[in-house]
Structure 1
């Protein structure tokens, strides 16, 4: 928010209106952009997961795994089922569409005819697929997983360790991209996306327990929360702007539900809870980025402006009746970042402010100041990704591509904001085949 006002003030300052000087502008913009980074670095590097209990009260037999899928075939999918079964859950429930029911049943029976059940719905709709399975769950914990994840053998124990705390309702995981034999640029950008996300959510979880979205790639919840009829109705009848029915954003909705109903969330950031997943390794990755950006806009705006449970009570708006505020740091570090100007504008503004601030300096000093600022900007774009480059030092040569893509992503973010009415998946085969059914306007649905 400070960044948005700064751009306005700078424009007005050129007309002579504001009384603040350039030094003040520079200080405010720097604080807004980099205090968050410094604090998050400290929090991320000092994060410790909730340890395994000596005598757990929740075990793997208290877990039912639900996997919504469309195709439900292939070596990768079978590997997902096998790694999930290796953690010894009570059972796995697969939910597909009617057209693929027989094929998926055959795949499930070939792996385990007793521990995997298969159901279907008429239309491809992830939220309704999830809700089709929920009434079948009889265990304490329900775990949702994507059909392309690979689990480490001890992941379930570490997820369940967090549920030993009775006030925790949802638990997320650490995620890495499955490294291809011949990784390309798209795979590199996808790996950095997950690396950056791990950095941010571990930091905010450590500080105030906040997170904007518990990723549905692998996430666990207390079953009784999800089996509440009020939740089921809200989950399957969410509309954007009262007009556009949402099929995507399922994990955003559940995360907001946890916050609004007084449940805490947690992310087990550790190697034992680190799953592997896949992302598009071709230009379709841009469509994934666009979908993620739209989801962030819709969900974060809902959290900030409509539900408003995330705000701290010591803010200026605390006198308003906005309910309980639970995540002050997360609100600043994650939610407000959504409405911050794109990086290319923010960086350009900092360079502009530096030039204005140092007008009275000699040429050499101004040059040193500019070099120092550019070096700091470079470090700030590198530090979040340090974990990836430690694991794959050969990728360091691709760092300039990451920086350029970061600037390009600003345009993706703007376009996403201008097309929030689009709720299509965009990158997944068959996921949007039922758009005419799924994207009904509310008035037509009522008719």
Structure 2
């Protein structure tokens, strides 16, 4: 078994095989999302798991079953009584008989050779959950505005890859095990703590539908169950993000999730390092810190020679630029033409500040916000 800087490799045969895996996909797929869903199902079939289970809602059961069976009649489709990702997953969990469950969104694409790499960390009996690196699946023929929205989404995913690979390597912890694609030992999903808490979690007495991946992560960490991130290219999952207002709603939902989850972790996981890291990540933002640092530099150099002072501000500006783009270097290596969008990165970084603080004022909104079911926000 190998354990390199970014995770485990599949050089040696995993103790788990495809026959030990069930892929579980919750969905409320709309007609305009059929192509993405078909691509998802085909890619899941290509890794040859023991079973694929799709969990939808009763009103859509016939439609989703017909769609799934048009790809492969062996795909199992079940339904919850209402649209709620947590409830849909809950309904399926007790029916799973394989040792490993892969939770997957309905818009992802798995590489055909990814499964051995996702399973490799499970060779270690202390590893109970495995996350994957991700990349946005590029859409062809976009105009310049949509290219910018796509780029902003790619930046979000790239930063996440950078952060979770670094923190996982440092101490085995991550801020959030993404719900887009994650392998988890089924026995954990079927514990009473998970089954009960997953569907009954609340925020200020309001039932939570969103934040499901944050709940899973907190439970894994609280119980001491090991998490690893598989960062090799062959396990890289392709996903999609919305454009325009849809993307901004996603950002708002992510920000709300971070506020809620980080608050719970600060309260229930009273460790000095976690407290420091979460407070720093939650409360600080470049919209505040950049002007503050600039002001402090101004005050501390006020008596300097003007040429030295100018040099110090130039160095400070270069340092700020470096901190804002260093996590995106892998993206620019793949897509060097996107370097021209660096000013967009910086401007959106400042714009995200109001989104983050608006999210703080609207934590009582616990729906997805970016998803609609039969024309209504879910």
TM-score tier, shorter chain, comes to: over 0.9
The residue aligned with 1:128 is 87
1:111 to 71, 88, 97: 71
> Residue 288 of structure 2: SS of its match in structure 1?
helix
Residues 95/50 of structure 1: CA separation in 2 closer, same or farther (3 Å cut):
same
CA distance in 1, matches of 2:30, 2:61: 9
2:134 to 163, 175, 180: 175
Structure 1 residue runs of 4+, over 3 Å off? 330-333, 431-435
2:353 to 410, 425, 428: 410
Offset of residue 76 of structure 1: 1.5
Listed as ranges, the matches of 1:284-363 within 5 Å are 284-305=246-267, 307-308=268-269, 311=271, 315=272, 328=273, 332-333=276-277, 335-363=278-306
Offset of residue 331 of structure 1: 5.7
Listed as ranges, the matches of 1:65-144 within 5 Å are 65-71=23-29, 74-114=34-74, 116-144=75-103
The residue aligned with 1:275 is 237
Bigger-Rg structure (1/2): 1
TM-score (ref. length: structure 2)? 0.94
The residue aligned with 1:31 is none
The residue aligned with 1:373 is 316
2:153 to 174, 190, 199: 190
Residues 163/332 of structure 1: CA separation in 2 closer, same or farther (3 Å cut):
farther
**Please, which runs of 5 or more residues in structure 2 have no aligned partner?**
none
1:60 and 2:18 aligned: yes
The residue aligned with 2:227 is 265
> Residue 55 of structure 2: SS of its match in structure 1?
strand
1:151 and 2:114 aligned: no
Contact 1:72 1:96 in 2 (8 A): no
CA distance in 2, matches of 1:397, 1:51: 35
CA distance in 2, matches of 1:235, 1:300: 17
The residue aligned with 2:162 is 199
* CA deviations over 1:112-169 (Å, ceiling 9, x no partner): 112x100001110100000100011000001100000011112111110011111111
Residues 88/233 of structure 1: CA separation in 2 closer, same or farther (3 Å cut):
same
CA distance in 1, matches of 2:218, 2:134: 21
CA distance in 1, matches of 2:328, 2:106: 26
Q: Aligned-pair RMSD on alpha carbons? A: 1.6
The residue aligned with 1:438 is none
Contact 2:177 2:217 in 1 (8 A): yes
CA distance in 2, matches of 1:372, 1:151: 43
TM-score (ref. length: structure 1)? 0.80
CA distance in 2, matches of 1:55, 1:378: 44
CA distance in 2, matches of 1:173, 1:283: 27
Contact 1:172 1:266 in 2 (8 A): yes
Offset of residue 432 of structure 1: 8.8
Contact 2:259 2:360 in 1 (8 A): yes
Q: Greater CA deviation, 105-114 or 184-193?
A: 105-114
Offset of residue 252 of structure 1: 0.5
> Residue 345 of structure 1: SS of its match in structure 2?
helix
Contact 1:426 1:432 in 2 (8 A): no
Residues 408/108 of structure 1: CA separation in 2 closer, same or farther (3 Å cut):
same
* CA deviations over 1:306-342 (Å, ceiling 9, x no partner): x216x2xxx4xxxxxxxxxxxx4x6655x23333332
1:49 to 7, 19, 22: 7
**Please, which runs of 5 or more residues in structure 1 have no aligned partner?**
1-45, 316-327, 436-447
Contact 1:235 1:253 in 2 (8 A): yes
Contact 1:124 1:432 in 2 (8 A): no
Offset of residue 97 of structure 1: 0.8
Matched residue count: 369
